[in-house]
Structures are given as C-alpha cells and as structure tokens.
Amino acid sequence: MFNHPPRRLFLRSLAIPLSAMLLGLSLRKAAAETAPVLIGLDGEYDLDNSISAEAVELGLKVAIAEINAAGGVLGGRKIQLVTRGHRSMPARGIKNIQEFARMPDLVAVFGGRFSPVIIEELPTLKDANVPFMAVWSSADMIIDNGMSPNFAFRLSLRDSLAMPKMLSVARKRGIERVGLLLTNTSWGRSNLAAANQYEQNSRLPRIVHSTWYNWRDASLLDKYQSLRAKGAQAIILVANDDEAATLVKEMATLPATQRVPILSHWGITGGEFAKQAGPALQAVDLSVIQTFSFFQASKEKVDHFLRQAAKVSDVRKIEDIKGPVGVAHAYDMMHILARAIAIAGSTDRAKVRDAMERVSEYQGLVRHYKPPFSPARHEALGPEQLIMARYRADGVLVPSKD
C-alpha cells in the first residue's frame, strides 16, 4: 500500500512554481512596459565633408528630449535613438536596415540625404515592413515605390517639385536657355524626368542639353563649358557638396563673361560646401533650393528650438545650425511619429504605419500640418514650402529674393 502526501501539501507544492511563474510573467511585462522605444537613423556618418547625418541626428535628439521630458510615449516609455552609418554605400545601408528590423522595440527608421542608397534599400524595407521616414532625400520613387501598403513617408523635398521651382526661377530672371548638369545616379535621373515633364508644359526656359558626371570626378569644367557652348545661359546643377565645390572653384578661374548663374539642387547643403569652395563661392552666382530657413520661421518656435538644442548640443544661435533642412525636417517628423505611436497604442510597426496616416494635425517648425499624411498622400511638403537661398560670405545659408 502506497503512502500519498496530504492533499494540502501537494497543492502547496504546486503553488510555489506557479507563483514563481506568475512573478516572472509580471516582471517581464513590467520590463516590456518600461523598455525604451527605439528609433533608428541610417545616415551618411563618416563620409568626408558630410554633415547630413549629424543634422538629422540633431533634429531627432531635440525632439526626443522634448518628448521624453513630457513623459515619453505609451504610458511613460522613453524614446531612444539608435544610429548606424552607411557612408553612401547601398550594401551597408541594406545591412543596417536588416539589423534595425531585428530590434524588437524599434518602430521606425529615419534616412539621410542620399536617394540612391534609400532606393536600393526599398526592397529590404518592404520585406521587413519597417516604417521609413525620409527627411532629406528627394527622389520621387522613394515614395512612388509600388509598396502596398506603403511604409515610406516623406517630410522633405521631392524632385518633381524641385526641378519646376528651379526652372521657374530661371524664367523669372529672364533666362531662356538652360543646361542640366546631373549626377549619374538614380537621383540625377529622377531630376531629368522632372525637367522633361516641366518642358512639356512650359515654353521657357528651354533645356538645350543635359550632361552627366560621376561621383568623385576630379573636374566638371569640360561638362560646364559644353553646356555653355550649346547656348545655356544658366546651369541647373544636381550635385552634392564635393563635386559642386570643384565646379565653383573651376568657374572662378574663368573670365567673368564665362560664368553663368548656377541654380543648384540642395545636395550641396548636406556637406561643408561653403568651406570647400572657399573664396571662389563669392565669385559665382549660385543659389540653392530649400524647403525651410530658420531665418524665416516663427521667432517663437525658433527661440524654443534653440533653447532645447542648447541642452543636447553646442548650438546656440541659427548660424550654428549646419544642414538646417535636415535638422528641421527630422525635428518635425519625430514629433509626428510620436503622435502616431500614441494613436497606435503599441510599438507594432504595422499599427504605427497605419497611425501615421491618421495623425490629424501638428504645428511644426517647417509648417502647420493639417494633416501631415493621409492614405493617399505620403508627402508632407508641397510647392508652397519651396524657397531659394544663397551663401553669405561667412558660409551661412540665408533666404534669397529669387
């Protein structure tokens, strides 16, 4: 005959591991509820002369500090920024996106200024279903990407807006013939498509010729002179800082009669262009498209931003801000994303994506968004935000009268 333990002792023996299990579940739930919500930044870190990743990072840090000081998101969870660099190499960017996608509490990735990198990343972003925040890149296909649902959102310039603006500025100056000097990348091709579309609907200015250069070309002078030889009275330049600085220094050596105006896309503002070009910049008529200037924004909002920026950086005045569009775009987009996380009520990426389309309003630095996005529109900016700017002698970018 077997001796069985008393029933009370048996139940007590079951209660001990059960209570331990419940305690473990409670602790894990508490840890999940207090774990930081991660935001990724895939940028051009460690690229010579580039300041674009740092500009986007500054905008994010200021916004995140404000959000966290106000209590964070999802009932008190802090937002934490995670950065990765791709040095303008698509393979590195793809690897970064894959790494971000494996982070359980990461809700979205912000990108930098290089459209060709982001375009190569799109299939990976699609497979991972990671919401992507484009806050500097301008190629149309970043948003017009064929995704359904679309996980990409842009608070930035778009080439099909930028090119018409630059061409219309040329027309207002009385320029009838322009040449296009384009980078031999998907970004350059995006701008050529936009220019061709503009020309179909406008008689002037006429595009006399398009020519291409490659990244890190040592000279652009022959290409510039070939456009002049074909009758170009101004050049529409689609370039980043390195090649643009090379061209400006070469143009400065020419007689004044051979220096035609340059209307530049904004890639030049993502690096140390003014420093690279040096005194030659003041010998060339160059203006650059922008979507925003701290010099034109609401004084109250700029003063608030500067006070907050001083807490996380060495920025004290507008002149200290490098890459202003990247800073402002990232700042506004982070605040919009925080509102989407609140609407989603979780870090579930699909829910955050859906919620981005339902944020009703945000009064930002760049504009009053009413709303920022919708199911049919993943572009937060329009033609009314576009301005032209010029570099002062001290290298600071300021709005122009174009």
287-296 per-residue burial string, b: 16 or more CB within 10 A, e: under 16: bbbbbbbbee
- 44: tokens are 């051009």
Q: Of how many residues is the chain composed?
A: 402
pLDDT at 45: 95
Tell me the mean pLDDT per 10 residues along the chain, length 402: 54 56 49 84 93 97 98 98 95 97 97 96 95 97 96 97 97 97 96 95 93 94 98 97 97 98 97 96 98 97 97 97 97 98 98 98 97 98 98 96 84
204-231 per-residue burial string, b: 16 or more CB within 10 A, e: under 16: ebebbbbbbbeeebeebeebbeebbeee
Listed residue (64, 90, 88, 89) closest to 78, CA to CA = 64
Listed residue (303, 334, 261) closest to 79, CA to CA = 334
pTM tops 0.95, yes or no? no
- 280: tokens are 């030659």
Give CA 259 to chain center in angstroms.
32
CA distance 145 to 143: 5
CA distance 222 to 326: 32
Within 10 angstroms of residue 32's Cβ, the number of other Cβ atoms is 12
Q: Where is 264: in which H helix or E strand? A: strand 262-264
pLDDT at 215: 85
Q: Which parts of 35-70 fold into alpha helices (H)?
A: 52-69
pLDDT at 2: 44
pLDDT at 247: 98
CA distance 44 to 243: 17
